[in-house]
Amino acid sequence: MEAVAQEIADRLRATSFVKIVTHIDADGISGGAIASESLARAGIGHEVAFVKKLDEAALLDIKRQGPPLAWFVDLGAGMLHAFHGLDAVITDHHVPTEREIPKALRGDLLRLAESMDRVLMLNPHLEGEGSDVASGAGCAYAVAKALDPGNRDLAAIAVVGAVGDVQDQEFRRLAGYNRTILRDGIDAGVLEATTDIRLFGREPRPVHKLLQYASDPWIPRLSGNEEACIAFLLELGIDLKVEETWRSWSDLDRGEKGRVVSALVAHMLERGCGAREVERLVGEVYTLVKEPVGSPTRDAKEFSTLINACGRYDEADVAYRVCRGDREEYLAKALKLLRGHREYLVDSLDAIAEAGIRQLDAIQYFHTGDKIRDTVVGVAASLALHQTGATTDLPIFAFANAEDGIKVSARTTRDLVAKGLDLAAIMQAASKAVGGQGGGHHAAAGATIPPGSEERFLEIANRMVHAQLSSAVPSAETVRAPENL
C-alpha cells in the first residue's frame, strides 16, 4: 500500500491544483481533512468538495469541471468503471468495480494504456485485503505520509476515521494496516491505545450515563434506564459525585473500574447474554493525547460521533474544520450539532412510536415518511430495536423519504446474525428486485428503493429472512453490529 501511496504522492506533487472529493460520513470527512492538510503542508493548491454519494451524475459533474487532478477519498472504487476521461487518484477501501474500455479506445492499445494510467488507486482490495484493514482516511493517510514522513501526526485523525467506520468493532481492536497507522500515531506522540470499557462516553459523561446509553453491547435492564444504572453503581459502593461534580468513567480508579466491569459481566450473564456479547464490554480504545481531558475530541469514538453528527445534518464543513484543527468556533458549532442530534433521536423515537412498529412473520418494520431524515433513520432503527413495541427476536426495517426515493435501513442483533441472518444480502437482493440498490453488513444494511415499492420490498425481505433463519446454517462470516450513536 505504501508503494502505491508513493506513486500517488508523486502525481500530486507534479500537479498545479487538486480537487479533493470526499464522503459526508466520519471516515470521509476525516480523510478529506488529512488529504487537505497534507497538500497544504506541501504547498499544493487545492479545494475540498463533500458528496453524499458518488453516482454517475456526480462523477459527470466533476468531469465537466475538469480539474488538473481529482483526489477521491473514501469513495470512487464503486464507480471505477466510469472514470475514463478523468485525471484522478483514489484512496478508498470499498470494493472496486471493473474498469470498462470505452468504445472509442477499443483496438487502440496505446491510447487505452494512456487512459488507464490517468487513474491511480490505493485500495486494500487491490492488495488482496478486505475493507476493514484500512479506512478511506487511513488510505489518505498513507499518501500523506508518502508526501512527507513528518505527517505522521495525522495518524490521529486517520484512527478517528477508522473507528468512525467501526473497523475496531469485529475484533474490538483495529487490525491490518490500521495497526501501522496506530503505531505511527503512538510514535509521533499523538495517540495512545489502552484496554478499557468500550462503552461510549468515557470522558465527559457522568458514569451512570455511560451505562444508560450502552448499545453495543446492550445491557439488559440498565441500557435506557437511568434510575437502574444509578442504583447498580451505588450498590457497588461507587461514589457518583465528588462534592457537586458528577464523576465520569475516566475519573474512576483501577479498582473501581474493575469492580464495575466484573459486576456488569455477572449481571449480563445472569440475564441470559451470551459470552460473545459480554466480551464486547471490554476492548482497545484510542485516545488523542494532545486533546484536552474531557473534550470529545480526545476519544477516537466520540470524535467520530461528533463528526457524524455534523455530516448527517448537511454540515460536513463544520466537522472538517474541527478535523483540520479548529477548536474554537467550529468545535462549538459541532458540539451544538451533536446536542441537536441527541434531541433529534429522542424525537425520532416518538415519531416511530406514533407511526407504530408492524410485524410480519419474520420481520418488523416502520415507515416514518418525512419525520426522520434518511441519514438518521438507521441510527433510530438501532435504538428502536430495544424499545417497547419492538422485539430483538426479529430484524427491524425502517423506511424514510429521501431525495432520490425511499431510504430503507435494516438492523438486527448479533444473536440473529450468528443464527444465519445476513441483512446485506437481503437488502441487496430485495432492493434489486424492486428496481433499487442496497447492501452493507450482516447486522446493519441499507438501500434506496422507488417510492411505492415498499410493500413488495417487505414481502421479499420477509421471505428471505424466513429462508435464511430456517436453513439454520450458522454464519461464520464477519459479524458487525449496528453503528454506535
Q: Which is nearer to Zn ion, 138 or 420 (CB)?
A: 138
Q: Quote the least distance from Cβ 438 to ligand C5P, whole Å.
A: 5
Tell whether residue 437 is a contact of ligand C5P (CB under 6 A).
yes
Q: Which is nearer to ligand C5P, 145 or 480 (CB)?
A: 480
Phi/psi class of residue 112: alpha, beta or left (left: φ > 0; alpha: ψ in -120 to 50)?
A: alpha
444 binds, among ligand C5P, Zn ion, none (CB under 5 to 8 A by kind): ligand C5P
Q: Which is nearer to ligand C5P, 259 or 432 (CB)?
A: 432
- Binding track over 164-193 against Zn ion, x by CB under 5 A: -x----------------------------
Classify residue 283 as exposed, middle or buried by CB count within 10 Å of its CB (0-12, 13-18, 19+).
Answer: middle
409 binds, among Zn ion, ligand C5P, none (CB under 5 to 8 A by kind): ligand C5P
Binding ligand C5P by CB under 6 A: which of 131, 309, 438, 442?
Answer: 438
441 binds, among Zn ion, ligand C5P, none (CB under 5 to 8 A by kind): ligand C5P
Residue 134 C-alpha cell reads as 484500512
Which 129-148 residues touch Zn ion, going by CB under 5 A?
135-136
Residue 142 C-alpha cell reads as 498513507
Which 322-341 residues touch Zn ion, going by CB under 5 A?
none
Q: Quote the least distance from Cβ 410 to Zn ion, whole Å.
A: 19
Q: Can you tell me whether residue 134 is helix, strand or coil?
A: coil
Taking the C-alpha atoms of residue 448 and residue 404, their distance in angstroms, rounded to an integer, is: 8
Tell whether residue 216 is a contact of Zn ion (CB under 5 A).
no
Q: Quote the least distance from Cβ 121 to Zn ion, whole Å.
A: 14
Q: Are 340 and 313 in contact (CB under 8 A)?
A: yes
Taking the C-alpha atoms of residue 75 and residue 71, their distance in angstroms, rounded to an integer, is: 10
413 binds, among ligand C5P, Zn ion, none (CB under 5 to 8 A by kind): none
201 binds, among Zn ion, ligand C5P, none (CB under 5 to 8 A by kind): none
Closest CA to 427 of 398, 401, 387, 452: 398
Other beta carbons less than 10 A from residue 129's beta carbon = 16
Q: Quote the least distance from Cβ 42 to ligand C5P, whole Å.
A: 31
Binding ligand C5P by CB under 6 A: which of 51, 446, 449, 462?
Answer: 446
Residue 458 phi/psi, 5-degree rounding, is -65, -40
Classify residue 54 as exposed, middle or buried by CB count within 10 Å of its CB (0-12, 13-18, 19+).
Answer: buried
Q: Which is nearer to ligand C5P, 19 or 312 (CB)?
A: 312
Residue 360 C-alpha cell reads as 410480519
Which 22-41 residues touch Zn ion, going by CB under 5 A?
27
74 binds, among Zn ion, ligand C5P, none (CB under 5 to 8 A by kind): Zn ion
- Binding track over 105-144 against ligand C5P, x by CB under 6 A: ----------------------------------------
Closest CA to 35 of 68, 73, 3: 73
Taking the C-alpha atoms of residue 395 and residue 385, their distance in angstroms, rounded to an integer, is: 8
Q: Are 309 and 338 in contact (CB under 8 A)?
A: yes
If binding means CB under 6 A, how many residues of this protein chain bind ligand C5P? 12
Q: Which secondary-structure segment (H or E) carries 141?
A: helix 136-147
- Binding track over 339-378 against ligand C5P, x by CB under 6 A: ---------------------------------------x
439 binds, among Zn ion, ligand C5P, none (CB under 5 to 8 A by kind): ligand C5P
CB burial of 153-174 (b: ≥16 within 10 Å; e: otherwise) equals bbbbbbbbbbbbbbbbbeeebb
215 binds, among Zn ion, ligand C5P, none (CB under 5 to 8 A by kind): none
Tell whether residue 422 is a contact of Zn ion (CB under 5 A).
no
Q: Please report, for residues 33, 161, 205, the alpha-carbon distance to residue 311 in angstroms, rounded to integers and kept in the order given.
A: 14, 13, 23
Taking the C-alpha atoms of residue 367 and residue 398, their distance in angstroms, rounded to an integer, is: 6
Binding Zn ion by CB under 5 A: which of 74, 196, 277, 422?
Answer: 74
Q: Which amino acid is it at 256?
A: E
Taking the C-alpha atoms of residue 413 and residue 479, their distance in angstroms, rounded to an integer, is: 10
Q: Quote the least distance from Cβ 209 to ligand C5P, whole Å.
A: 24
Q: Quote the least distance from Cβ 74 to Zn ion, whole Å.
A: 4
Beta strand 396-402 with 405-411 is antiparallel
Q: Quote the least distance from Cβ 375 to ligand C5P, whole Å.
A: 7
Q: Which is nearer to ligand C5P, 78 or 204 (CB)?
A: 78
Q: Please report, for residues 170, 200, 409, 417, 431, the alpha-carbon distance to residue 426 in angstroms, rounded to integers and kept in the order given.
A: 21, 30, 11, 12, 8
Tell whether residue 166 is a contact of ligand C5P (CB under 6 A).
no
Residue 71 phi/psi, 5-degree rounding, is -115, 110
Q: Which is nearer to ligand C5P, 448 or 475 (CB)?
A: 448
Q: What is the DSSP string of 349-383?
A: HHHHHHH--EE-SS-EEEE-TTSS-TTTHHHHHHH
Q: Which amino acid is it at 465?
A: V
DSSP conformation class of 327: -
67 binds, among Zn ion, ligand C5P, none (CB under 5 to 8 A by kind): none
27 binds, among Zn ion, ligand C5P, none (CB under 5 to 8 A by kind): Zn ion
Which residue ranges make up the site for Zn ion (CB under 5 A)?
Answer: 27, 74, 135-136, 165
Which residue ranges make up the site for ligand C5P (CB under 6 A)?
Answer: 378, 409, 437-441, 444-448
